[in-house]
Amino acid sequence: MKLISLISGGIDSPVATHMMLERKAEIVAVHFDNRPFTDEGQLNKTKSLIKELEKHHNREIKTIIVPHKESHIAFGKHCKRNLHCVLCRRMMFRIAEKIAQLEKADALLTGESLGQVASQTLRNIRTESQAVEIPILRPLIGLDKLEIEKFAKEIGTYEISILPGMCCTIVPKRPSTFSRLSVVLEEEKKVDIEGLVKKAMNGVIKI
Amino acid sequence: MSFYLLKPCEGKSAFEAIPKNQIQIEIDKCINALKANDYEVIDAGIMLIAIKGDCEISVYPSAKLLLKCSSKEKAVEMANELYDVLGVSEGASGRV
């Protein structure tokens, strides 16, 4: 089983990746580089987290960095403010699906856990999943934050994840927690989705 | 202009400037003023990012600034300068 793991500098996605590495899945790590809406810290933490996972599992993990600035700008300029996170995640899934096709991977893997942040309500997860056809694995879906932190401490990623790093600065004050696909599709008509995917794919860096 | 300078939390590598009085700024009208004062500007519609030297400043319609700067002193200096450029300055008194 080959999986495309969407990995950030946070606590959850390294734990999700660890769980599937334990199941002997082959992992390709994909990090969406949100600079300048985040800072260098997120990218550096991600690289350190992947190294830690490689050390823990004694395996190399192929890593791909995807530039994600242009999508944020397009959604910020043209789309409903409260849907920004849903639109952003749908875009990440689309790009990850393209990478999965190139890598001949079977599924995407995320560190989502139900209700942990606004974008992770059941309704939003459904709307976001509908952007792609590829299956999305979410091994942490039923865990709470403390349980996830416990795993992170056990595998040595927790201390890296809590290092300074700026969260996304374009996140809306009141993000939608109950997105409707029909509304999201209307918003996506206002931007060149295919063009943004192509641009991101042209800018990927493999490390 | 009077503002509070906050360090959002230990884990964050930035400072936040929040005006003491409620202010609204029109993001699209800030762009030219910033460019004329040697800022590189990334216009994201609902907010913008102004870059000068090694400082990156997110500017929001509420006049809140998020400053990625090396020190507290630099953040105060840049917040004062930026409010001045945007024409919302009433005399600086940044406090942490």
CB contacts of B43 in chain A (<8 Å) are 73, 77
The mean pLDDT value for A37-45 works out to 91
A44 close to B (CB below 8 A): no
- List pLDDT tens digits, range A179-204: 999 999 999 999 999 999 999 999 99
Tell me: pLDDT of B11 over 60. Answer: no
- Domains of chain B by range and CATH? 14-85 (3.30.310.50)
Tell me if A164 and B58 make a contact (CB, 8 A cut-off): no
C-alpha span between A176 and A118 (Å, rounded)? 7
Tell me if A170 and B43 make a contact (CB, 8 A cut-off): no
Tell me: pLDDT of B1 over 80. Answer: no
Quote the mean pLDDT of chain B.
86
The mean pLDDT value for A37-61 works out to 94
* Amino acid B89: pLDDT: 58
| Helix (H), strand (E) at residue B6 | strand B3-6
Q: How far is A169 from chain B (nearest CA, A)?
A: 7
Least confident of A194-203, B10-19, B28-37, B72-81: B10-19
Least confident of A29-33, A99-103, B28-32: B28-32
B88 close to A (CB below 8 A): no
pLDDT level of residue B9 (50, 70, 90 thresholds): low
Least confident of A16-25, A37-46, A48-57, A146-155: A37-46
**3-state SS assignment for residue A42:** helix
- List pLDDT tens digits, range B49-96: 999 998 999 999 999 999 998 888 999 999 999 999 998 855 444 443
Searching chain B, which residue's CA lies closest to the CA of residue A159? B11
First to last CA, chain B: 14
A8 neighbors A41 (Cβ within 8 angstroms):
no
ipTM for the complex shown: 0.79
* Amino acid B93: pLDDT: 45
| CATH number among 3.40.50.300, 3.90.870.20, 3.40.50.620, 1.10.10.10, domain A2-206 | 3.40.50.620
pLDDT level of residue A173 (50, 70, 90 thresholds): confident
Q: B56 — phi, psi (to 5°)?
A: -115, 125
* Amino acid A161: pLDDT: 94
B54 close to A (CB below 8 A): no
Tell me if A169 and B58 make a contact (CB, 8 A cut-off): yes
- A148 versus A168: the higher-pLDDT residue is A148
Phi-psi region of A24 (alpha: psi -120 to 50; beta: other; left: phi over 0): left
Tell me if B12 and A164 make a contact (CB, 8 A cut-off): yes
Tell me: pLDDT of A8 over 80. Answer: yes
Q: How far is B91 from chain A (nearest CA, A)?
A: 27
* Amino acid B94: pLDDT: 43
Quote the mean pLDDT of chain A.
95
User: What string of DSSP letters covers A116-171?
Assistant: SSGGGSHHHHHHHHTT-SS-EE-TTTT--HHHHHHHHHHHT-HHHHTS--PPPTT-
CB contacts of B44 in chain A (<8 Å) are 37, 72-73, 76-77, 170
- The one-letter code for the residue type at B2 is S
C-alpha span between A198 and A191 (Å, rounded)? 13
Report whether the peptide linkage leading into residue A36 is cis, meaning its omega lies within 30 degrees of zero.
Answer: yes
CB contacts of A78 in chain B (<8 Å) are 45
- List pLDDT tens digits, range A108-140: 999 999 988 877 899 999 999 999 999 999 999
The mean pLDDT value for B34-49 works out to 95
